[in-house]
Amino acid sequence: MDWAPDSVIVRLGGEIWIKKSWTRRWYLRRLVRNIRVVLEHYDVAYDQIIRRNGRVFVATCEAQASAKRLSRIFGVSSVSPALNTGTDLDAIVNVSLSVAQRILTAGNSFAVRCKRVGKHPYTSQEVCRVVGRRILEALADRKVRVDLDNPDLRIGVEVRDDLAFVFAEVIKGVGGFPLGVQGRIVGLLSGGLDSAVACWLVMKRGCSVVPLYFDNDPYTGESVNKRTVEVARVLSDWAVGFPRSLYIVSYGASLKEIVEGTPRRLTCILCKRLMYRIAERISDRVGAEGLVTGEAIGEQASQTLRNLRVLDEAAERYPVHRPLLGFDKAETEMLARKIGTYEVSARSVEGCEAVPYKPATKAKLEEVMEAESKLDIKKMVDRCVGGLAVVSL
Ligand code: ATP
Ligand code: MG
């Protein structure tokens, strides 16, 4: 029998396993829904999605293509293209042998691993022994050998109640929790490297992100807008089945008031504080539980520990989450590459012209509030929220 996988084994992240049974069931339901929408979105043919004892099996004639897609769904720790053999031991052995014939070359070492849940007339050790012996006999001319500790190749057998699968490959999944099991969060998305990674990190933990972009025109140009839309699209590809939209605030007029009406060294701090306030109003509107930003300690002048404190004070009703707080730039870059935002985010665009030559690194809350008293903050927030645009990606 030739080795043509007809299924994908989908394994859940370990953290899902330590949840109480009702939480786990709910997570699993959400995961299965997310799997379905991803396969349908990418036109991957499948017959059914089966749940058994906390595992998910997808029956599909496009096992390789779907495995690749499924490995990028949050909550999936690994996937394996597999062949459904039925639980009869002879069938398992025969399929395992044909897999071995396909993948083992002269001198290779191998190991057979079996996981079994349910009642069967054999134990998992027996499966390993019988399959191993049969491969050694049949491939004696290739001088293959068993190495349980450090094999060149592994052949896996997974038996769950009335189902059994043989597989040869384990593809690492993205991990995390199924998207949607946590609430909504407003992501302040600038199109730069950091905020995209920050949004992705909370998505990975199950939050659905509402991306919010402040268009600083005329202090930034069209290339920045374009970059943000592209980044938001990449993030949306990780959230198939969720709204594909970008919230855009026309922010230039407000930034102009800050630049012209307050001390220049405070521009970035005042700008961010106003952004937070507007983001809070958007959170009200979309029913979010908080804000997420790409700030990391000391990464910019406005991100010193002191300045972060002054920024935080502007968000009165929602927490500001900063998943990159302790990240080095290189770590963020590495993640951005994995996510797929790096290419777009790293593109050179003109910087914000409102940034002063010497921004304050140790702003005092009193001086910031004093500067804000010269602005009509409420009016600025109302104007920005009133002019909010929601763009489909
Ligand atoms: P990034 O790499 O995300 O662009 P940054 O390192 O350039 O951020 P700042 O410009 O200080 O840092 O911005 C800090 C955070 O504020 C960003 O990570 C982002 O979450 C938010 N932010 C900044 N500018 C904008 C913007 N124009 N629209 C939306 N959010 C923004
Ligand atoms: Mg940054």
74-130: pLDDT as tens digits = 999 999 999 999 999 999 999 999 999 999 999 999 999 999 999 999 999 999 999
* Structure-block tokens of residue 93: 């052995």
Among 132, 149, 172, residue at a domain's last position: 172
Q: Are residues 236 and 340 in the same domain?
A: yes
Summarize the confidence of residues 233-246 as an average pLDDT.
97
In a domain, 156, yes or no: yes
Question: Is a pLDDT exceeding 90 seen at residue 335?
Answer: yes
Question: Is a pLDDT exceeding 90 seen at residue 13?
Answer: no
In a domain, 2, yes or no: no
Rounded Cα–Cα distance for residues 204 and 26 (Å): 17
| Ligand 1 mean position, distance from CA 106 (Å) | 55
In a domain, 285, yes or no: yes
Q: Are residues 93 and 216 in the same domain?
A: no
Among 122, 145, 172, residue at a domain's last position: 172
In a domain, 350, yes or no: yes
Which protein residue's CA is at the shortest distance from atom 8 of ligand 1? 194
Give the confidence band of 219 by pLDDT, cuts at 50, 70, 90: very high
In a domain, 178, yes or no: no
Q: Are residues 122 and 263 in the same domain?
A: no
Phi and psi at residue 335, in whole multiples of 5°?
-65, -40
In a domain, 344, yes or no: yes
Q: Are residues 362 and 300 in the same domain?
A: yes
Chain centroid, CA 65 distance in Å:
19
Q: Are residues 90 and 143 in the same domain?
A: yes
Ligand 1: lining residues by beta carbon, under 6 Å:
188-190, 192-195, 213-214, 216, 272, 293-295, 299-300, 302-303
In a domain, 179, yes or no: no
| Ligand 2 mean position, distance from CA 323 (Å) | 12
Pick from 185, 186, 188, 228 the residue to mutate for probing ligand 1's pocket: most ligand atoms within 8 Å of its CB: 188
Q: What is the pLDDT of residue 18?
A: 85
Q: Are residues 114 and 194 in the same domain?
A: no
| Ligand 1 nearest atom to the CA of residue 196, by list position | 3
Q: Are residues 324 and 252 in the same domain?
A: yes
CATH number of the domain bearing residue 128: 3.30.2130.30
Closest-approaching ligand to the CA atom of 293: 1
| Ligand 1 mean position, distance from CA 190 (Å) | 5
Contact at 8 Å (CB) between 191 and 224? Answer: yes
**Domain that includes residue 29, residue range:** 7-172
Q: Are residues 95 and 210 in the same domain?
A: no
In a domain, 177, yes or no: no
DSSP string, 107-167: T-EEEEEEEEES--SS-HHHHHHHHHHHHHHHTGGGT-EE-SSS-SEEEEEEEETTEEEEE
pLDDT in tens, 174-218: 999 999 999 999 999 999 999 999 999 999 999 999 999 999 999
